[in-house]
Amino acid sequence: MTHLFPSLSGYIKSHGAMGKIHSNVSLAPYTSYKVGGKAQWYATPHNWQELQATFEWFSSKNLSLTLLGAGSNLLISDKGIEGLVLSTRNFRHYQFNEETGCVTVAAGRPIVSVAWQAAKKGWLGLEWAVGIPGTVGGAVVMNAGAHNKCIADLLVNVVVLSYDGKIKTLTPEDLNYNYRTSFLQNGKYLVLEATLQLQQGFTREEITKKTQENLQKRKSSQPYDKPSCGSVFRNPSSYSAGWLIEQLGLKGHRVGDAEISHCHANFILNCGHAKAEDIFYLIRYVQQKVQDHWSLLLEPEVKILGEFSTF
């Protein structure tokens, strides 16, 4: 099915806030996979006022809504996405509170940036996040983690915008956190900012060293030279997804320019001009092979958006 999107662009205005709504925008440049079709409508507000105005425009049009942060954990269909795609990439402010040891970070700021800022201050808690490519908002939604630590361990609260336009503050207890999951994945709330509890009293040298060591571990065991979404599948309770895939000899298996990494079998890489459909096919192919051999269905960690062919 071919999507024919209108070629118009419009402006919204509410309470003195002005935000631009773009139409027919390619989403490939805004995802770490560098694949995907066009958004029917696309907005990147710079502040809460513009965001609320965007919501008013969206609600008046009876459109579907898709939220986009850094696009690091997404596979978007080559056919694009209908409705409004709302990106928080311009929400990047952050503030360290010396009295409480907390850092409050806007949803669109890369979590790796906050990890390095914390390291420079000698604040312990985010050194594990240095190799995670997503935003703080995405990390909160997915309960991102590494080295046996995760966002749920640090989160004090999160400020969200509900689809009825109301701003709410939620606690970790509200989010029903589990391994790489949270209540926020139901798509009913947009994360605006999060407050994380860190530990003070360390030196800049100590935390910077820990952070650098974690980064080197990830670089030595995971591919960083080609576009990917990071880990494709959640680890089951028995063995890691990468180990299960590797045992089946699937490293290097390729569809078009999409390839299962030789370095880490839980990564699918865009080796040049891969299509989203190629990556999707590999995901389904791996799932089928693992299920046939291990009687285990691997659950994707990557969020798949849009229309794809049936495997």
* Residues with a known catalytic role: 180, 231, 301
- Are 228 and 33 contacting, i.e. CB atoms less than 8 angstroms apart? yes
Q: 117 CB contacts (<8 Å, ≥6 apart)?
A: 94, 96, 103
Quote the tokens at residue 266: 């839980």
Q: 163 CB contacts (<8 Å, ≥6 apart)?
A: 55, 65, 188, 189
Strand order in the sheet with 258-260: 254-255, 258-260, 268-270
* Rg over CA atoms, the chain: 20
3-state secondary structure of 253: coil
Strand order in the sheet with 17-26: 10-14, 17-26, 38-43, 81-87, 65-68
Q: Which of 283, 185, 276 is nearest to 231 (CA)?
A: 283
Dihedral class, residue 26 (left if φ above 0, else alpha if ψ from -120 to 50, else beta)? beta
- Please provide the DSSP assignment of 220-250 as one string: HHS--SS---S--BPPPSSS-HHHHHHHTT-
| H or E stretch covering 207 | helix 204-221
d(C-alpha 200, C-alpha 212), whole Å: 18
Quote the tokens at residue 260: 């299962």
d(C-alpha 14, C-alpha 197), whole Å: 35
